[in-house]
Structure 1
Amino acid sequence: MTLLSSAQDLAAHLRPEGATVAVIGFHRDPSRAAHYVPEYLHRRGFRVIPVNPALAGSGEEFFGSPAAAQLADITVPVDIVVVFRRSDKVHGHLDDILSLSPRPRLVWMQQGIRDPQTAAVLTEVGIDVVQDRCIMVDHRSLT
């Protein structure tokens, strides 16, 4: 697999058709990108599962799903993992991403987020990676 950059490659991953998106670093504040970007994806037909340990177990639901504390708590297959965490925190989620079974087909690090070492590990095990791009902006321009 590769680090994705071509419009054709990105567009192929951004068709909802039942795709489940787990959002690491989801935020409950609708004015924050970590909320309105997943909300956009939900409105476009993706199933969105928030991942934030501070919200897990709160009883709140976002887009029809309760927040998970970590990816390992999600019991359905995840197609795309979207990361809203500082670049220096991404590597701390690597084992959690790799624990998913089946593994996601794509890990998307939002605009401003890069971790080349984690990306290299993910691509080595067959997971496509996008770094430093906004999934909402790319979805709007490609679909």
Structure 2
Amino acid sequence: MESMDAELDVEAVRILREFSTIAVVGCSRDPAKAAHSVPAAMQAAGFRIIPVNPVADTLLGERVYRDLTDLDGPVDVVEVFRPGREAPAIAEQAVRIGAKALWLQQGITSSRAREIAREAGLAYVENRCMAVVRAVNGIRKDAG
């Protein structure tokens, strides 16, 4: 288990260093929720955030898409703020849209989503907070 944790930590840092466009499935309208504050923190660090939420129109100043398959441009990372049982279907969509990585936020795991992502060649992280990994490693995409 420890080697898998270490592998995920290395992969998490690599993803954030290499990629900058993040589609956030389950992005929340509620600023008190991690599904809002984490993407906001990533956006503040210069990452491009594309919110995916079935009921909102604008989040974090960005147009909201109902579903990953509705996106009209390329995505590097699909970050998931949905229950683990929904992760396999999201993983399949991430593969379909040509994402390069799938990231399940802290508290979310799915062996099936991991399998789908890895079989398709996507980088994969689960049970890690993207904002914490970014902050601890000092990764930014802006000039600041």
Q: TM-score, normalised by structure 2?
A: 0.85
Among candidates 127, 133, 137, match of residue 138 of structure 1: 133
Aligned Cα root-mean-square deviation (Å): 1.9
Shift of 1:63: 3.0
Which string of whole-angstrom CA distances, capped at 9 and with x for unpartnered residues, describes residues 60-100 of structure 1? Answer: x2233211001111111100110001111212323321220
Q: TM-score, normalised by structure 1?
A: 0.85
Asked whether the equivalents of residues 50 and 62 of structure 2 are also in contact (C-alpha less than 8 Å), the reply is yes
Q: Secondary structure at the match of 1:14?
A: helix
Q: Secondary structure at the match of 2:124?
A: strand
Q: Is 2:84 the partner of 1:87?
A: yes
Number of aligned residues: 134
Moved over 6 A (4+): none
Instruction: Name structure 2 gaps, 5 residues minimum.
Output: 139-144
Shift of 1:106: 1.2
Shift of 1:39: 0.2
Same amino acid, percent of matched pairs: 32
Which string of whole-angstrom CA distances, capped at 9 and with x for unpartnered residues, describes residues 26-67 of structure 1? Answer: 100101000000000000001101101111xx3xx2233211
Shift of 1:16: 7.2
Find the counterpart in structure 2 of residue 49 from structure 1.
50
Find the counterpart in structure 2 of residue 63 from structure 1.
60
Instruction: Name structure 1 gaps, 5 residues minimum.
Output: none
Which string of whole-angstrom CA distances, capped at 9 and with x for unpartnered residues, describes residues 90-142 of structure 1? Answer: 12323321220xx2221110111001111111111110110111111111111
Instruction: State the alpha-carbon separation in 2 of the partners of residues 6 and 115 from structure 1.
Output: 17
**More helix, by proportion:** 2
